[in-house]
Structure 1
């Protein structure tokens, strides 16, 4: 049965916003007292929070679909809908959040650190909030915006000070069991350790954590064995400790070759070149192990490694090793002026960004993409003509109509707002925002023509007045 999971794909869905209410205040002797429709409530967010008591992503492995609650719709008498409740998901310290393409969204470190994985939808405005001097009694309200839904990947990178690396059955689990209070599974066969084990070590005034990383073998950085699944757990460690088995029974292996192969795998994984290394020659309580340790120690020290001879079974050399690691960890901590903080990727909007784009897709067909136009479309009730007109006014003020004109769009061309899989498509009918002078066909904007002489403008105005007078005389009641 799986008890430790350090990578999961999570499907999160924030709550939808509640719909706004279209209502008119009514009371005795005052049947039309004005709009009083309340706004809809905001949908709940999906929030990841670092919790020190959580050490695995196992819960999300069994239940990968998580959804926050929706906001409630507004009501008459200016009653706003209730906001949806945020869904808080605890994650272990050191969790990395990635999107579906593998790009890092956040690197969560430190108790209480939060990241909004799914933004709740905005509540729709009621007709009371939409009322203005030009629109005194709106007969419509805005719909609630759908909550953000997306797939994310959570990866756990163990936050430990010391990482024990080495071949399977080199004695890493035995060493961590005697250095700390951890009780890992120990046996004499490959891949005994299937999950990283963490232990807390106290050496003098220094307290540090030590991680037993599952055995690495040649090809681990390309996915062979268990190494690729757990190499990420050494990324945050301050010091790497090579555990070499000096009493290995395999005749075709020796500790120095094991060290070189593990270093090659770490180099191919990348990002660990500057970490200090310590070499531990384990199982020196065995006579053959002690003899081999004495033979290879000068060679390792010549390479610049600090070498310690220990025996996890006989408890030899453990105190010296523990205090040496404590000194390295304390030095590394002192070199960091500020604790490593959460890294959240922020992509600011460009200064010259209009907020939308217009692209031509085929003959007489255009697509509009942008946060505001797409959100406004989602909030529009297309069964209400007044709401559709309000959407047209908003798009025109944003500059969408001018952009379509510059792109070459003409009346009755097809226009789609939104992505291909979820777009609203309509035949474009240019609005007449500039008044009576815009009644000509698209492209015949009289404002762009050369200014007319004053006498000509007076004659045109008199002619228009005469036409209006003739129409009045034709329909004037007798």
Structure 2
């Protein structure tokens, strides 16, 4: 027996970008071939796509981890690395993507609808792409970025036109079985239905879907019974149909009190509804009352007694028997017409289009704040500086110098000076901590040196070594008068 799963937590991680290649062309009779390192390939995305052949989130229940393919590193002769393979995950229509905090990221309805759950990391540039007037032959390349990683909550909300609600054993499953080709489990005990059952109903030229939601009881919106888990399946329905058991022998129950109790639960669930369903609140949905089991004489008499009360509320009332199939034809045509009327009354929701927003003039794209944990330290926040730091090879002095140039041109150096940063101050960018050296100026013409070396860093290292040697001699009392 298949298991119905309508809520899962999915751990997604996109592929890493491949590293760029630092290479120099070496061929006979071409002593100055120049840099020819290729770029790394981008990491593969993790994508969720609606598939009409998928009806549950069962696969993600047993396989909650998804990972995209990594990009390949670049190679010499300007050969770029291969792109990482994207991972395409199939989900049923009606799947809502949320963060762990409950923020809605996407609402996937309709075959082919896609959502990028995790963005693949960008591949690093090879040294051929880093050539500039200041760097004729870069001896370094950029590292590939890590892919996006996050935890997502997937919730399935059935896409049905008519939702059947009612107390346990009201005959909802029986009604679905006689109106459509669906074959739900039917038995004479409460809570037989443990999962929503969907059926397709053909009425003349109109085709609509009908959903049997597990039985509701008072307190369902607060977690009693099974209602809390399945009330979400009513959010997309165009018509709500109360299926009332007119033959119940439970003391204290009657058709009017049953409907009033369920209406109270639907009203209590309103805060959980999302405005982006395009169908409005549950209180605004058309209602119909279906008085079931009228093949029993006493039930038929009770149905006649309560019909005027429901009609006074403006709700159509139908007396049926799912067993003898009495009254099903008028009910089917009425439901089809209500669905058509409701569809025609709804404003067509245009699909959201991507909006390109220009960068505000004066927006540097980063901000510098005082580090609350390190005295005299600072933290640099911003997508670009954090990405640049993650792409840097710190065992390559030339790559570190290139990073210093980029940060200085962005304005990080000037901002640190404004905030009173002193040489040697601790500066945190992303996951890296640096000792700030303002003497490393940006935009200078790089002198001709061996690859992987930046003369500015060498000069700074020499100055630092000389200062340490001077301090050591002073502590031991070995300084001459000239040195003092």
With structure 2 as the length reference, what TM-score do the two structures score?
A: 0.86
Shift of 1:435: 7.4
Q: Which of 406, 411, 414 is 1:394 aligned to?
A: 406
In structure 2, the residue matched to 1:305 is: 315
Do the aligned partners of 2:163 and 2:210 also contact (CA within 8 Å) in 1? yes
- Mean CA deviation greater in 75-84 or 423-432: 423-432
In structure 1, the residue matched to 2:265 is: 265
Structure 1 portions without partners, runs of 5+: 440-478
Q: Which deviations, in whole Å up to 9, do the C-alpha atoms of 1:158-177 show, x marking residues without a partner? A: 11100000111111000011
- Mean CA deviation greater in 343-352 or 180-189: 343-352
- CA separation in 1, counterparts of 2:357 and 2:243? 46
Structure 2 CA distance for partners of 1:172 and 1:115, relative to 1, 3 Å: same
Matched, 1:369 2:377: no
In structure 2, the residue matched to 1:284 is: 294
Q: Which of 325, 348, 364 is 1:315 aligned to?
A: 325
Q: Which of 316, 326, 339 is 1:329 aligned to?
A: 339
Q: Which deviations, in whole Å up to 9, do the C-alpha atoms of 1:97-134 show, x marking residues without a partner? A: 11121101111111111111110010100000101121
Matched, 1:5 2:37: no
Q: Which deviations, in whole Å up to 9, do the C-alpha atoms of 1:220-239 show, x marking residues without a partner? A: 11111111111111111100
RMSD of aligned residue pairs (Cα, Å): 1.9
Give the 3-state SS of the residue equivalent to 1:236 in structure 2.
Answer: coil
Matched, 1:354 2:376: no
- CA separation in 2, counterparts of 1:234 and 1:150? 29
- CA separation in 1, counterparts of 2:426 and 2:194? 58
Q: Which deviations, in whole Å up to 9, do the C-alpha atoms of 1:229-274 show, x marking residues without a partner? A: 1111111110000001000121221111111110000001113111
Q: Which deviations, in whole Å up to 9, do the C-alpha atoms of 1:383-431 show, x marking residues without a partner? A: 111111111111111111122222222211111012xxxx100111113
Shift of 1:219: 1.0
Matched, 1:406 2:418: yes
Q: Which of 391, 405, 419 is 1:379 aligned to?
A: 391
Structure 2 CA distance for partners of 1:106 and 1:181, relative to 1, 3 Å: same
- CA separation in 2, counterparts of 1:345 and 1:238? 29
Shift of 1:346: 7.7
- CA separation in 1, counterparts of 2:343 and 2:38? 55
Do the aligned partners of 2:134 and 2:444 also contact (CA within 8 Å) in 1? no
With structure 1 as the length reference, what TM-score do the two structures score?
A: 0.87
Structure 2 CA distance for partners of 1:434 and 1:89, relative to 1, 3 Å: closer
Structure 2 CA distance for partners of 1:414 and 1:119, relative to 1, 3 Å: same
- CA separation in 1, counterparts of 2:299 and 2:244? 10
Matched, 1:230 2:240: no
Give the 3-state SS of the residue equivalent to 2:117 in structure 1.
Answer: strand
Pairwise mapping of residues 53-72 of structure 1 onto structure 2 (< 5 A)? 53-72=53-72
Do the aligned partners of 1:18 and 1:143 also contact (CA within 8 Å) in 2? yes
In structure 1, the residue matched to 2:435 is: 427
- CA separation in 2, counterparts of 1:294 and 1:156? 39
Shift of 1:349: 7.8
- CA separation in 1, counterparts of 2:286 and 2:256? 18
Structure 2 CA distance for partners of 1:165 and 1:345, relative to 1, 3 Å: farther
- CA separation in 2, counterparts of 1:325 and 1:31? 82
Do the aligned partners of 2:25 and 2:76 also contact (CA within 8 Å) in 1? yes
Structure 2 CA distance for partners of 1:311 and 1:118, relative to 1, 3 Å: same
In structure 1, the residue matched to 2:218 is: 218
Give the 3-state SS of the residue equivalent to 2:334 in structure 1.
Answer: helix
- CA separation in 1, counterparts of 2:215 and 2:92? 23
Shift of 1:26: 0.5
Do the aligned partners of 1:108 and 1:343 also contact (CA within 8 Å) in 2? no
Give the 3-state SS of the residue equivalent to 2:283 in structure 1.
Answer: coil
- CA separation in 1, counterparts of 2:145 and 2:323? 63
Shift of 1:32: 4.0
In structure 2, the residue matched to 1:117 is: 117
Q: How many residues align?
A: 432
- CA separation in 2, counterparts of 1:88 and 1:354? 36
Give the 3-state SS of the residue equivalent to 2:207 in structure 1.
Answer: strand
